[in-house]
């Protein structure tokens, strides 16, 4: 059966964007009849996909710089909790394309629950998952002064150091099953190692205290290397577990930058962090050669991008628009890394209007997408109005379709 559609003369854009599974007859200004046979892809573009993609196909295509049916969407790089939706998870409300794999919490949580009950009402340290992690590492940012490893003075002190047992079999037993189930439902699965807010730099700084660890890097390199070696051992164990579980995207993160540039110099990053990060990536790809590697760093880490590419990073996040120029980076590196994030400043998310969010999404898609871009907020949305989150998702749907 022939389908009849009417367009105004010159309306080639509508024709270009539609795929026709059966012969379609067009009437232009009711003067001319044209019959077009079925086309194998959208608008006859050989690079465009046939029909709608699954979320997993969409994510992997875009992050590999192939053409998706629309730009994929996430609300961050970990599972989000939105107060206005609780207890319903955001992925049950919004068409999000990624599912985030997490290790199960420890079996016994009595101490954690006591810790939550003892927190002052006017103190906000993070969501419950973050607080559980803080408790496991005996890290209490709400208490001034001493940090878990602030009294370590020698390599000998580190030998006897007892770190949380992140390799507990009970925490990992469902990783593979969850991954397979989500992939069977058509979702891309991303997972990161459990850590204290960053695999290496951030974790060491929180354990030692920021000033103390910065002094370690400059004045006590053997101590810094020894601590980082211990943390790298934990990282490698968990990277192996995630790669074996079959995740699509390995999430690595470390905030080594501030809004105006790097916290540590490039030479320091190369000596202490780059080789260890490279080892984690090699470890993952020895098990899963096709795995995509994601790297998160807040602030301006533009100077690190060539070296992140060198060690195998495929995706960078969040490219905060008030810190980094994503358009310039794409111009300088047109075939990678892919971008995950790019949308909005903290002020825009928390204080802006939905129409401003929509315009930001439209602009990002016009300048950076669709291939090589996964749209996501560039800042945490803990305090963002629900209307702004809804505007973001709807704008991605409205402007992101090809």
Tokens of 272: 């202490």
For the entire predicted model, the pTM comes to 0.84
Tens-place pLDDT, residues 238-295: 999 999 999 999 999 999 999 999 999 999 999 999 999 999 999 999 999 999 999 9
Tens-place pLDDT, residues 115-125: 666 666 666 66
Q: What pLDDT is recorded for position 171?
A: 72
CB half-sphere exposure, 186, CA atoms < 13 A = 9
Question: Which CATH architecture does the domain made up of 52-121+168-193+224-400 adopt?
Answer: Alpha-Beta Barrel (3.20)
Give Cα 77 distance to the centre of its chain.
3
What are the domain boundaries of the chain? 3-43, 52-121+168-193+224-400
Q: What percent of the chain has pLDDT over 70?
A: 78
Q: What pLDDT is recorded for position 155?
A: 85
Termini Cα distance of the chain: 26
CA distance 357 to 344: 7
Tens-place pLDDT, residues 185-215: 999 999 999 888 899 999 999 999 999 999 9
CA-CA-CA-CA torsion sign (370, 373, 379, 383): positive
Average pLDDT over residues 56-84: 95
DSSP-derived secondary structure letter, 96: -
If one compares 147 and 178, the residue with the highest pLDDT of the two is 178
Res 181 pLDDT > 90? yes
CA dihedral of residues 340, 344, 346, 349 (deg, nearest 10): -110
Tokens of 196: 């204290």
69-83, 147-161, 264-278: least confidently modelled range: 147-161
Average pLDDT over residues 14-41: 36
Q: What pLDDT is recorded for position 111?
A: 65
Q: What pLDDT is recorded for position 221?
A: 97
Res 334 pLDDT > 50? yes
Residues in the chain: 402
Tokens of 34: 């044209």
CA distance 125 to 111: 17
CA distance 71 to 373: 7
**Order of strands across the sheet that contains 188-191:** 98-101, 188-191, 249-253, 292-296, 315-317, 338-343, 373-377
48 touches 40 (CB < 8 A):
no
Average pLDDT over residues 37-51: 45
Average pLDDT over residues 213-233: 95
If one compares 114 and 255, the residue with the highest pLDDT of the two is 255
At 153, the pLDDT band (50, 70, 90 cuts) reads confident
CA distance 96 to 357: 17
Q: What pLDDT is recorded for position 116?
A: 63
Average pLDDT over residues 23-49: 39
Tens-place pLDDT, residues 132-144: 777 777 777 777 7
pLDDT averaged over every residue in the chain: 84
């Amino acid at each position: 059966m022939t389908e009849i559609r009417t367009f105004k003369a010159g309306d080639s854009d509508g024709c270009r964007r539609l795929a026709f599974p059966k012969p379609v007859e067009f009437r232009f200004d009711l003067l001319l009849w044209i019959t077009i046979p079925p086309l194998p892809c959208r608008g006859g573009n050989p690079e465009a996909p046939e029909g709608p993609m699954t979320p997993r196909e969409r994510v992997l295509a875009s992050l590999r710089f192939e053409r998706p049916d629309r730009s994929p969407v996430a609300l961050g790089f970990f599972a989000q909790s939105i107060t206005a939706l609780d207890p319903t998870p955001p992925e049950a409300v919004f068409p999000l394309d990624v599912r985030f794999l997490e290790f199960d919490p420890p079996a016994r949580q009595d101490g954690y629950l006591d810790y939550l009950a003892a927190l002052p009402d006017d103190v906000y340290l993070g969501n419950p998952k973050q607080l559980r992690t803080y408790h496991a590492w005996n890290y209490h940012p709400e208490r001034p002064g001493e940090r878990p490893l602030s009294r370590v003075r020698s390599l000998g002190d580190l030998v006897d150091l007892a770190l949380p047992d992140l390799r507990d079999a009970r925490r990992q037993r469902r990783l593979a099953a969850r991954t397979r189930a989500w992939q069977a439902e058509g979702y891309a699965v991303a997972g990161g190692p459990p850590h204290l807010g960053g695999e290496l730099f951030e974790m060491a700084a929180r354990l030692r205290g920021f000033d103390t660890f910065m002094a370690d890097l400059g004045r006590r390199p053997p101590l810094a290397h020894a601590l980082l070696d211990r943390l790298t051992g934990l990282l490698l164990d968990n990277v192996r577990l995630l790669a074996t579980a079959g995740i699509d995207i390995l999430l690595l993160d470390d905030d080594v930058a501030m809004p105006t540039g790097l916290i540590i110099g490039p030479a320091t990053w190369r000596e202490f962090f780059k080789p260890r990060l490279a080892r984690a990536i090699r470890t993952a790809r020895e098990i899963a050669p096709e795995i995509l590697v994601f790297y998160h760093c807040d602030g301006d880490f533009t100077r690190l991008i060539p070296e992140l590419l060198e060690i195998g990073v495929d995706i960078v996040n969040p490219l905060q628009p008030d810190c980094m120029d994503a358009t310039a980076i794409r111009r300088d590196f047109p075939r990678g890394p892919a971008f995950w994030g790019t949308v909005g400043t903290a002020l825009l998310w928390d204080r802006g209007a939905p129409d401003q969010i929509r315009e930001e999404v439209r602009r990002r898609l016009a300048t950076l997408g669709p291939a090589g871009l996964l749209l996501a907020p560039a800042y945490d949305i803990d305090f963002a109005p629900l209307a702004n989150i809804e505007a973001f998702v709807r704008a991605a749907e409205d402007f992101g379709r090809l």
